[in-house]
Chains A and B, each alone.
Chain A
Amino acid sequence: RKEVEQDPGPFNVPEGATVAFNCTYSNSASQSFFWYRQDCRKEPKLLMSVYSSGNEDGRFTAQLNRASQYISLLIRDSKLSDSATYLCVVNRGTGGFKTIFGAGTRLFVKA
């Protein structure tokens, strides 16, 4: 079993739809969590950090459930420009922490 798992998709949604991605992690020592976005043939870029209390940035909401060891990303009112791969990232340890990326979930938003 992979340490960080995501539904690979693809998710095909119309503009204006709400879409949710989930990510599970297996190591309970994991300490910090992020969502990155990667456009086709581009490098990953930080979308948002994920906090236990949940956090929101415009149309994007991230949630962390430590008890169940999963992270979610909700995108409301999808735009064509949201089409990308969304990568779940987990850090564990302190000082010499280790970063693990999920395989990513592909999203296609269509007009």
Chain B
Amino acid sequence: EAGVAQSPRYKIIEKRQSVAFWCNPISGHATLYWYQQILGQGPKLLIQFQNNGVVDDSQLPKDRFSAERLKGVDSTLKIQPAKLEDSAVYLCASGGQGGDTQYFGPGTRLTVL
């Protein structure tokens, strides 16, 4: 079974630039999560989708971050404009309908200069 796919794996940008990350969950998984993990900290949930609807985006900085999952399958997370403090690993995870167990992708390591 293919796992969660993410791209790109690494991205370096300058502050105020825009960046987008892509995630393709495990086939059939209804729930998709985006997390931000800053070095030395646990993952912080940014947004959670159930199919193509948003379940929780309470910790998403909506002035600069946006995410969509238009067809209930793959998803895109965008940052516009980026700040230095956005440097982190962005993890995508997926789970079944009940969503208990989460399967993570390899992450995208973002460096903002």
A binds B: yes
B42, A46: Cβ atoms under 8 Å? no
Q: B41, B91, B103: which contacts A103 (Cβ < 8 A)?
A: B41
A102, B102: Cβ atoms under 8 Å? no
A96, B56: Cβ atoms under 8 Å? yes
Q: In the complex the two chains form, what is the Cα distance from A46 to B102 in whole Å?
A: 7
**Residue contacts A-B, CB under 8 angstroms, 10 given:** A42-B106, A43-B105, A43-B107, A46-B101, A87-B43, A91-B99, A96-B55, A99-B48, A101-B35, A103-B41
- Mask for B76-88, Cβ within 8 A of A = 1, else 0? 0000000000000
Q: In the complex the two chains form, what is the Cα distance from A30 to B33 in whole Å?
A: 19
- Per the CB 8 Å criterion, the residue count for chain B at the interface is 22
Query: Using a CB–CB distance below 8 Å, which chain B residues touch chain A?
Result: 33, 35, 40-45, 48, 50, 55-56, 91, 99-107
B56, A49: Cβ atoms under 8 Å? no
- Please indicate the chain B residues that have their CB under 8 angstroms from the CB of A91 in the complex: 99-100
Q: In the complex the two chains form, what is the Cα distance from A34 to B41 in whole Å?
A: 17
- Per the CB 8 Å criterion, the residue count for chain A at the interface is 20
Chain A contact surface mostly: strand
Tell me the minimal C-beta distance from A1 to chain B in angstroms: 15
Tell me the minimal C-beta distance from B33 to chain A in angstroms: 7
Contacts A43-B91, A43-B106, A43-B107 given; does A98 touch B101 at CB 8 Å? no
Q: In the complex the two chains form, what is the Cα distance from A46 to B45 in whole Å?
A: 16
Q: A44, A45, A98, A101: which contacts B56 (Cβ < 8 A)?
A: A98
